[in-house]
Amino acid sequence: MKKSILLVLVFLMGGVSFAQQFDEKTTTVSDVRLNVTNIGTFGNAFRGYRDGSGSQSGEYPVGSGVEHLFESGFWFGGIVNGQTLVSTSAYDAAQGYSTGRAGFEFTNSSGPIKLRSSYFDSPYFSPSAISHEDFVSVYTDSNILIPGTQIPIQNHNNPLNVEIIGHSYNWNYTFSNFFVITNFYIINHSNNVIDSAHFAFWANTVVRNINITPAGSGGAAFYDKGGNGFLDSLYMSYCYDKAGDIGFTQSYVGQKFLGAEDKHGFHHPGVLDSNGLVVDDLDIHYNVWQFNNTSDPIYFLPQSDNQRFQKMSKGLNQSECWADNSSTNPNCSSRSIQETINEQGNRSDLIAVGPFRDFGPGDTINVTYAFVFGPKKDDGEDPALNTVEQKEFFMQNAGWAQTTYNGEDVNFNGVLDPGEDIDGDGYITRYILPTPPNSPRTRIDAIDNRIDIYWADNAESSIDAITQEMDFEGYRIYSSKLGFDVAQTPPKLDFVKIGENDIPNNGLFNDVGFESIRLEDPVTFDGDSNTYVYKYSIKNVQNGWQYAVAVTAFDRGNPGANLESLESSPNFNNFRVFAGKDAVTDLEKNGPFAYPNPYYAGAAWEGRSSFQEESRKIIFANLPERCTIRVFTTAGDLLDEFHHDGNYDGTDIRWFQTFGAEDSDKNVFSGGEHAWDLLTQDNQILARGLYIFTVEDLDTGKLYKSKFLIIK
């Protein structure tokens, strides 16, 4: 869900009121829903679950309800004329970002977030886009007053006068839809050289399933269940659920350093010379502390600029007690730092990079990180143990994030070596990914006990970014299993391949051709600009039940580059379909009815959620295209009244918000059915018993009456 809002914040301070523009968007094309703002924060401190918007903070996988991020942001610091200065865009705060709050020292200088896309079918397509969905904003620490007011930003008296251009990138490819890259350009707009400059990424990660435990419930007890760690070889911090919703949170989240550049060249501690020696003087410093804790001698919240800079320039990962405890090192406690932070707790962590030398007026530093997500591999052990094998998929995903950043720099040495200049511009181009074909443009029709899938042939003209060839090979059709959405909590979408067609007679894959799916004549539909060439029907489906369906395109692969066949992501055109009756014109001949009837409360049909009484549904079928449905007691008391028309998308009841498509436009109904949540217009729960409903055809004025039974 993308949104751009203008929050009017009124401050009753000295009689001054003002409007401060605030913009936020949530990534939509990958399997990650990450909140990004135009003031330099990531994650929304679970505000979306408090204000009713439902906006995710850092959800992965999409629709799972598993949140991974409370809030995150960047720090920049250095020494100016002997004085240590640090500016931060986000900081420990129990309620998250608030305009003017201490620690939130960057303000926006570019207006709303700019959205760009490299996807040709996107309304935001731009040749300058890096990914399928770029968010771009500009921030500055120069303001010591809240813009447009005379109100000071708390504890922000000595800005560094830097501007930061922030980009976030995410893609819908199956091999890259589990990370979001954050790319920052830091520009020195002051008149001073900033010595020993360091950039850091701060995060308060919290892995919980909000379908099991509502966000923030229980106060501090909600946040203190995470285990933390740092993978030295990957330069990545991570967090997982140690003791919260175990079994319902099988994933990791990490913040990974990818690389940096300045006027002195490329920087990464993993860069080696021909003799295998490190050639860079830049270091990665990892620190972690108890959230808002100011008393612990090691894990303390840094409160002054000097303390913050100390955290940025001296990491716990360089401590002699990082891996040692008192049994091996008398200077250490009974548990090593790694062992300590792996235990449950509510922590903030920081990955800093530096020092950048003589960062002078007008100079630019480019630093890039990634939010990386990944499933926890089932190794048969307790998922709270955090074994190496459990982190296997997560670490593989981190490798893909690094590969994506590297782009043409295959040898990862910051030098354009022979054969690496794919685009021929003479420079290292980063973020060049091998690309599967474009996602097919798809239309879904829900019919009585059937689902019809139509798609266009746009994928067949896709050009691979690496080979510059049209290497389309075929299509795959996917469907979910019956009841996938109610079989477990959170719902787990496991697509099952139900069809595959590919180019015939080329010796690749199945050689089956496209005749079984190609329409004799391409078709168009009113209000739809696409021309559909292919059709696949799923028959004998159960009316009223939810099915997820998708069509993907795959390519031939690139053996020369040791790259397997790539496939577009089923998440990109994943529709949720509810087969059912079409709209009727004759109520006497095809009378409306309700199902399931009788309705058994607690049956598998309902699913399980934290909002059980609000997540029920009964379906009224054989409805006219435009009608009013009314529900009564047998005594004639009106319980509820609602309207149905051809634009029905299910969003009027909670069931579809919990179990349906994230984007309501991808909920597909048959036209003659409408679901109801069994709650009265006053949100009262219906008792067991017999109920009457009427259907009034708004075009003819005719009225039809029937009944249904609830059993509890």
- Across 437-464, average pLDDT: 95
pTM of the model: 0.77
Chain-centroid distance, C-alpha 207: 14
Angle at 663 between CA 657 and CA 665, to 5 degrees: 110
Residue 334 within any structural domain of the chain: no
The reported pLDDT for the residue numbered 74 is 98
Q: 117 and 59, same structural domain?
A: yes
Tens-place pLDDT, residues 455-504? 999 999 998 776 678 999 999 999 998 888 877 656 677 899 999 999 99
Q: 598 and 571, same structural domain?
A: no
Tens-place pLDDT, residues 641-694? 999 998 899 988 888 887 887 778 889 999 999 999 999 999 899 999 999 999
Sheet with 442-447: list strands edge to edge: 442-447, 450-455, 528-539, 518-525
Distance, in Å, from the CA atom of 296 to the CA atom of 312, rounded to the nearest integer, reads: 18
Q: 560 and 515, same structural domain?
A: yes
Instruction: Give the domain CATH number at 553.
Output: 2.60.40
Q: What is the pLDDT of the chain when averaged over all its residues?
A: 90
Tens-place pLDDT, residues 9-32? 332 223 333 345 899 999 999 999
User: Of 406, 427, 457, which residue sits at a domain end?
Assistant: 406
Please, which contacts does 499-503 make with residues 24 or more away whose CB atoms are closer than 8 Å? 499/475, 499/536, 500/474, 500/475, 500/476, 501/474, 501/475, 502/473, 502/474, 502/475, 502/554, 503/472, 503/473, 503/474
User: Of 547, 578, 609, which residue sits at a domain end?
Assistant: 578
Tens-place pLDDT, residues 206-254? 999 999 999 999 889 999 999 999 999 999 999 999 999 999 999 999 9
The reported pLDDT for the residue numbered 606 is 74
Chain-centroid distance, C-alpha 702: 47
Q: 517 and 401, same structural domain?
A: no
Residue 133 within any structural domain of the chain: yes
Residue whose C-alpha is closest to residue 246's, from 381, 54, 384, 361: 384
Residue 12 within any structural domain of the chain: no
Task: Write phi, then psi, for 99 (nearest 5 degrees).
Answer: -55, 125
Task: Please determine, for residue 536, whether its predicted confidence score (pLDDT) is greater than 50.
Answer: yes
Print burial letters for 389-425: b (CB count within 10 Å at least 16), e (below 16).
ebbebbbebbebbbbbbbbbbeebbbebeeebeeeee
The reported pLDDT for the residue numbered 612 is 65
DSSP state of 104: -
- Across 301-321, average pLDDT: 96
User: Of 544, 578, 612, which residue sits at a domain end?
Assistant: 578
Task: Please determine, for residue 276, whether its predicted confidence score (pLDDT) is greater than 70.
Answer: no
Helix (H) or strand (E) holding 160: none
Residue 239 within any structural domain of the chain: yes
Residue 339 within any structural domain of the chain: no
Q: 472 and 393, same structural domain?
A: no
Residue 322 within any structural domain of the chain: no
The reported pLDDT for the residue numbered 414 is 84
Residue 14 within any structural domain of the chain: no
Residue 11, CB-side half-sphere exposure with 13 Å CA sphere: 17
Cβ atoms of 92 and 292 closer than 8 Å: yes
Q: 387 and 364, same structural domain?
A: yes
Q: 633 and 510, same structural domain?
A: no
Q: 604 and 563, same structural domain?
A: no
Q: 598 and 548, same structural domain?
A: no
Task: Please determine, for residue 77, whether its predicted confidence score (pLDDT) is greater than 90.
Answer: yes
The reported pLDDT for the residue numbered 19 is 41
Q: 377 and 483, same structural domain?
A: no
Tens-place pLDDT, residues 577-603? 999 999 998 888 889 999 999 999 877
State how many domains the chain has: 3
Task: Please determine, for residue 614, whether its predicted confidence score (pLDDT) is greater than 80.
Answer: no
Instruction: Give the domain CATH number at 70.
Output: 2.70.98
Say which residue, 465 or 320, is predicted with more confidence.
320
Q: Which residues contact 100 (CB under 8 A, 6 or more apart)?
A: 146, 151, 152, 153, 154
Residue 415 within any structural domain of the chain: no
DSSP state of 666: G
Burial class (CB in 10 A: 0-12, 13-18, 19+), 82: exposed
Q: 542 and 459, same structural domain?
A: yes
Q: 599 and 515, same structural domain?
A: no
**Structural domain span for residue 199:** 24-307+345-406
Cβ atoms of 414 and 266 closer than 8 Å: yes
- Across 624-632, average pLDDT: 97
